[in-house]
């Protein structure tokens, strides 16, 4: 009898263990696969994050800003306006030391102890949310992986792995969807390099900075030029503030009109002289150990500038050997290798989507002409190789698509872009006039579609979202054929925008 009872007990225990094991392994059967969003640059950096004595290092707290105001005033009055470049350099160094130094990494590119982001672990409530983008303050939105933008993207990729594993565990899903904006793509690319595509259903790359940006490349390589950039500046501002915005049109047209007499060009030429005289000194004495030792920012230096930038900033200084090894590891294994990483991921069954802005003039600091961009990142880099007309021009009436092997048309209806030279022409979308920072309605309609599309979407999957799309009048729609640039004169733009602003003022 005793034996029988113990057998029954043993069986009962076995069954209960097995069934609880089954319960623990039970998968969620919902069709809302968890989406993890990796945002772009700029998450606040704190000293003692998450504690009561948390202090914001980036952006600096009001105290640090207030402490810098006298130096800013002196830099302008005793430096720029007095033509005393040495004085300008001195005050610029003071400003950098007060405002930025507390957030700097050490010479090996490590963040100082007790500094970082206010990390938030994933919570299961997020599982079925659909809002985009996820923000820190929203209680709605995708899972949002917050990371320290200063450090090596490969280190952040290891933290992303932990985050993904946690999301899978709490949601009871084996697969997740990754989507990233801007710098977040350097982290996702590093993740895919380190861990491959296992458990990743889809990767959506929005305005990706995984190939860097010529803005940072030209500054780090000291190949910048502000000379004769007045009109470029006007074009760039128009794109940043929005083509459809009345104030934006007015500001841009006024700058161009004033610049007919060379006034804006003159100011920029002067700033160029100041930079040429002081840049080396300010970098050597201060910025090298503030900006120059952030691996996350080095990931923004494109390949064509990379080695020149390293020589310009570190020269033969042996102190930075460990740092250089770290940034080389990212540069040569991830940035330079991105097409093979994505090819492998795709071959392993993960869907990929790339979306990038175009038809906005880049911030005019490079020696070459303004590039097609979303004002911050070059369209060619984001799209892994699109052929782009110079800003304000088209590829020409007689232009022939470079690659015709696939049999589709990949030239934009406005004649500005040839997408046939992209690494993934069937999976790369171009969003005309869309500035870098815009992740709002109605653009999110497209992003949501791409995220929730069952399987691998192509540029032929939907009539609503062909390869070239545009936001106008509050809607997202296919790009129409037409001219690349503005056809009205500056005078016409100034008068009509003033009338519209007056009308608005009286209507209120």
Cα gap 13→19, rounded to integer Å: 10
CB of 461 to Zn ion, least distance (A): 13
Confirm or reject binding of residue 30 to Zn ion (CB under 5 A): yes
Residue with Cβ nearer Zn ion (174 or 441): 174
CA Rg value for the chain:
26
Confirm or reject binding of residue 406 to Zn ion (CB under 5 A): yes
Residue with Cβ nearer Zn ion (30 or 247): 30
Cα gap 352→43, rounded to integer Å: 26
Fill in the per-residue mask, 351 to 390: x = in contact with Zn ion (CB under 5 A), - = not in contact: ----------------------------------------
Q: Choose which of 168, 336, 408, 452 interacts with Zn ion (CB under 5 A).
A: 408
CB of 32 to Zn ion, least distance (A): 5
Task: Look up residue 473 and give its two tokens.
Answer: 């009048």
Q: Which residue has the tokens 């672990």?
A: 121
CB of 174 to Zn ion, least distance (A): 11
Residue with Cβ nearer Zn ion (230 or 425): 425
Piece of 5-13, 350-358, 375-383, 400-408 that binds Zn ion (CB under 5 A): 400-408
Q: Which long-range contacts (CB under 8 A, 24 or more apart) does 332-335 make?
A: 333/193, 334/153, 334/154, 334/186, 334/189, 334/190, 334/193, 334/210, 334/299, 335/186, 335/189, 335/210, 335/211, 335/212, 335/299, 335/302, 335/303
Residue with Cβ nearer Zn ion (29 or 316): 29
Confirm or reject binding of residue 17 to Zn ion (CB under 5 A): no
Fill in the per-residue mask, 423 to 462: x = in contact with Zn ion (CB under 5 A), - = not in contact: --x-------------------------------------
Confirm or reject binding of residue 169 to Zn ion (CB under 5 A): no
DSSP classification of residue 11: H
CB of 371 to Zn ion, least distance (A): 24
Q: Which of 29, 358, 32, 35 is nearest to 203 (CA)?
A: 35
Cα gap 14→18, rounded to integer Å: 6
CB of 38 to Zn ion, least distance (A): 21
CA distances from 131 to 127, 139, 295, 347, 441 (A): 11, 10, 31, 30, 11
Residue with Cβ nearer Zn ion (161 or 175): 175
Which three-class secondary structure state does DSSP give residue 410? coil
Confirm or reject binding of residue 28 to Zn ion (CB under 5 A): yes
Residue numbers at the binding site for Zn ion (CB under 5 A): 28, 30, 406, 408, 425
């Amino acid at each position: 009898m005793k034996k029988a009872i113990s057998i029954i007990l043993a069986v009962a225990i076995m069954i209960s263990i097995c069934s609880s094991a089954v319960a623990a392994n039970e998968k969620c059967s919902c069709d809302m696969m968890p989406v993890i969003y990796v945002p772009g640059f700029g998450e606040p950096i704190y000293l003692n994050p998450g504690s009561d004595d948390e202090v914001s290092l980036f952006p600096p707290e009001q105290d640090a800003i207030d402490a810098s105001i006298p130096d800013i005033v002196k830099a302008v009055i005793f430096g720029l306006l007095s033509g005393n470049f040495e004085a300008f350099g001195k005050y610029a160094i003071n400003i950098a030391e007060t405002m930025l130094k507390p957030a700097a990494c050490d010479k090996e590119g490590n963040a100082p102890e007790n500094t970082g982001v206010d990390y938030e672990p994933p919570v299961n409530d997020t599982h079925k949310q659909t809002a985009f983008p996820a923000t820190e303050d929203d209680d709605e939105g995708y899972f949002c992986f917050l990371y320290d933008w200063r450090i090596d993207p490969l280190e952040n990729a290891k933290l992303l792995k932990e985050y993904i594993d946690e999301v899978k565990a709490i949601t009871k899903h084996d697969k997740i969807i990754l989507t990233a904006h801007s710098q977040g793509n350097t982290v996702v690319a590093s993740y895919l390099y380190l861990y491959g595509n296992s458990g990743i259903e889809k990767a959506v790359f929005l305005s990706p900075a995984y190939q860097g940006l010529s803005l940072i490349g030209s500054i780090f390589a000291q190949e910048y030029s502000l000379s004769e950039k007045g009109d470029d500046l006007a074009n760039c501002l128009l794109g940043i503030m929005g083509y459809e915005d009345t104030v934006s049109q007015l500001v841009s047209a006024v700058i161009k009109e004033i610049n007919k007499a060379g006034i804006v060009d003159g100011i920029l030429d002067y700033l160029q002289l100041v930079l040429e005289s002081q840049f080396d000194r300010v970098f050597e004495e201060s910025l090298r150990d503030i900006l120059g030792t952030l691996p996350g920012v080095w990931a923004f230096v494109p390949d064509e500038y990379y080695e020149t930038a390293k020589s310009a900033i570190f020269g033969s200084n042996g102190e930075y050997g460990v740092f250089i090894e770290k940034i080389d590891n990212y540069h040569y294994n991830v940035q330079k290798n991105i097409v093979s990483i994505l090819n492998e991921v795709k071959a392993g069954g993960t869907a990929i989507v790339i979306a990038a802005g175009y038809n906005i003039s880049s911030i005019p600091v490079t020696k070459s002409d303004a590039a097609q961009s979303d004002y911050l990142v070059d369209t060619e880099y984001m799209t892994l190789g699109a052929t782009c007309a110079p800003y304000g021009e088209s590829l020409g009436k007689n232009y022939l698509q470079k690659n015709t092997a696939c049999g589709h048309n990949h030239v934009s209806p406005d004649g500005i872009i040839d997408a046939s030279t992209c690494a993934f022409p069937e999976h790369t979308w171009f969003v005309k006039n869309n500035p870098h920072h815009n992740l709002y309605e109605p653009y999110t309609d497209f992003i949501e579609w791409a995220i929730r599309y069952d399987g691998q979407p192509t540029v032929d999957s939907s009539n609503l979202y062909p390869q070239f799309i545009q936001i106008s009048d509050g809607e997202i729609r296919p790009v129409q054929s037409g001219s690349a640039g503005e056809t009205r004169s500056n005078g016409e733009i100034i008068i009509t925008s003033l009338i519209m602003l007056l009308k608005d003022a009286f209507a209120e």
